[in-house]
Amino acid sequence: NAGVTQTPKFQVLKTGQSMTLQCAQDMNHNSMYWYRQDPGMGLRLIYYSASEGTTDKGEVPDGYNVSRLKKQNFLLGLESAAPSQTSVYFCASSYSKRQDRGSGELFFGEGSRLTVL
């Protein structure tokens, strides 16, 4: 099993450009998440999807949009990229949205490094 796959792994954008980060999971998980990781700030939740067709804002949603049209895919969009969005982005999935249960364990992809010039 591939687990959680993110594409692309690296991307350089100019300010104002748009792009979509793609995430796919093959574990039949119900919940999916997008985090960003910045030095000294840990992992911050951008958006999450408890189930197919639903999405909710996390801690830092401004400047992003998401789409969960299929259970196995969760897309993160940047409509007009800004230098402040330079970061490493991680997608994660879990079987249950209840993260305090064994079935709520997060499984992460390997990350997508985005640089906005």
Chain positions contacting other proteins, by CB under 8 A: 4, 40-45, 48, 56, 58-59, 90, 92, 98-100, 105-111
Asked if residue 32 lies in contact with residue 47, where contact means CB atoms within 8 angstroms, the answer is no
Q: Could you tell me the CA-to-CA distances from 12 to 38, 86, 113, 116 in Å, in that order?
A: 16, 9, 8, 6
The CB-of-40 to other proteins minimum distance in angstroms stands at 5
**Residue placing its CB nearer to other proteins in the complex, 11 or 108:** 108
**Residue placing its CB nearer to other proteins in the complex, 79 or 98:** 98
The CB-of-15 to other proteins minimum distance in angstroms stands at 27
**Residue placing its CB nearer to other proteins in the complex, 17 or 111:** 111
Q: Could you tell me the CA-to-CA distances from 67 to 42, 71, 74, 82, 108 in Å, in that order?
A: 24, 11, 6, 20, 18
